[in-house]
Amino acid sequence: MRETSLATLALVCALLGLASVVMVSQRLVEEAKIGELSQHNLETTVQISGVVVRVSKSGEHVILRVSDGTGQVTVPIFGNILGGVLAEVGEIEIGDMVTVRGKIEEYRGVLEVVPASARGVRVTKQETQKVVDTDLEKYMLRVVEVVGVVVRKPGDAPFFYLGFGGEEIRVYMPPGVAWPGVGAGESVRVVGAVTRYGGVLELVARRVEPLN
């Protein structure tokens, strides 16, 4: 009886020790800035946090583009874990905040952070903030609603320039966001996420609506 109790106690201690190792290893995963990721980090497990600036589907997979203001990286969520990721949020859209733990990999010359399980992806919905001042910098990685005037749209480019409170900001329209067909001088309402691309402040549109 005593030997059985000792064996049980040893097993419990071993399991607790293993759980502690797992928790410690999870805490030790490096929190990385996206702009600092490179090919030198391949196969390294990191954790990144940022705002979703593009969502696309490829078969049963969802491919995210995530920005933290220092850079952007692709996050593929494969079909085998997608259901677990969407179980609570329903869908992922532009402006959602995500925290991703995964390995840095390279696919067709593009860096990716690839989560191994649904637990490696946390999605947080953001409330839209109506903005009337022009200091969008303080809304970095937030979802905002702004009203302004179209200054210009270069041909078929997926972006345009919005006049807003005497300032001008570039508005990027990811695939799936329709251009409302308005011309220069017309007013629009834009809902989207504030971020940086190539060092330039940018508003990534979730939707663009004409007001005239």
**Domain regions of the chain by residue span:** 31-124, 129-210
Task: Report the C-alpha gap between 191 and 173 in whole angstroms.
Answer: 11
Per CATH, the number for 31-124 is 2.40.50.140
110-136: per-residue pLDDT in tens? 999 999 999 999 999 999 999 988 889
**Same fold flag, 31-124 and 129-210:** yes
Architecture of domain 129-210: Beta Barrel (2.40)
* Cβ atoms within 10 Å of 68's Cβ, excluding its own: 20
138-195: per-residue pLDDT in tens? 999 999 999 999 999 999 999 999 998 888 999 999 999 999 999 999 999 999 999 9
pTM attached to this predicted model: 0.84
